[in-house]
Amino acid sequence: MRLITWNINSVRLRAENVCRLLAEARPDILCLQETKTPNELFPRDPFHALGYEHIHMHGMKGYNGVAILAKHPFPSVATRAWCDRRDCRHAIAELPGGIELHNIYVPAGGDIPDPDENPKFAHKLRFLDELTEWFATHDRARSAIAVGDLNIAPLEHDVWSHKQLLKVVSHTPIEVEKLGAFQAAGGFVDAVRYFVPSDEKLYTWWSYRNRDWAASDRGRRLDHIWVTPALVDGLKSARVFREVRDWDKASDHVPVMIEFDL
């Protein structure tokens, strides 16, 4: 099974790029974040034509939104709302074999890393706390996958400069601590770092502000795939599609893939 996660930054604007990825990488499952469209306007037809007939959408107009595309039907689907909001950030699908898949889009958190001064940052921290509390109630022996744009680069080599980004939202100590608590609560293993050593630089996002993103290479690893221990032995490979950042109308994020032997 091949599973890809990708913050697409508007699925309607970048539907052609999604189709290209599906045709070239041939994943069994594609999880999208920041789809930015209500369900009724989601571009189903081009994905159906490529064999992805089963789509679990959780979208809204203009902001946020997540979706799961698959070749095979989902035995069940659900969504979750956090922080007393309905902003379409968490979709859940059961996969064949009883595997539980969570597609999550964590709030970015604004620019000021102070919850008292910045309501967006306070929202991000609360969102993580609520995820942590909820996942702590789950059985760690289950087969589960959590993917998405978690908007935090937790490790020193997940950012281009650890020292310079310690006070920048996405790499601050409090965010890293809360992401670690969320990961521990669910009993999750970082599936990409399972293959890529923690002392090796690894990015999935490059700002649009960089005129030449590849030359400056000031990236961050914001997009993650985690699995519970029950699935670790089945992990076969990981890939970050860095080249996709150069596609026409590229998202500022690139796809991340894990391959399993199930």
pLDDT digits (tens, 9 = 90+) for 12-23: 999 999 999 999
Cα–Cα distances (Å) from 246 to 6, 136, 154, in that order, read 15, 39, 25
Tell me the C-alpha distance between 104 and 112, whole Å: 23
Tell me the C-alpha distance between 147 and 30, whole Å: 10
Summarize pLDDT for 131-178 with one digit per residue, the tens: 999 999 999 899 999 999 999 999 999 999 999 999 999 999 999 999
Mapping DSSP to helix (H, G, I), strand (E, B) and coil, where does residue 145 land?
Answer: strand
Mapping DSSP to helix (H, G, I), strand (E, B) and coil, where does residue 161 land?
Answer: coil
Share of the chain above pLDDT 70, in %: 100
Tell me the C-alpha distance between 134 and 143, whole Å: 16
**Do β-strands 2-7 and 29-33 pair in parallel, antiparallel, or remain unpaired?**
parallel
**Mean pLDDT estimate for the chain:** 97
Please choose, from the candidates 102, 103, 109, the residue with its C-alpha nearest in 3D space to the C-alpha of residue 123. 109
Mapping DSSP to helix (H, G, I), strand (E, B) and coil, where does residue 70 land?
Answer: strand
Can you say how many angstroms the Cα of residue 204 is from the centroid of all Cα atoms in its chain?
10
Structural domains of the chain, with CATH: 2-260 (3.60.10.10)
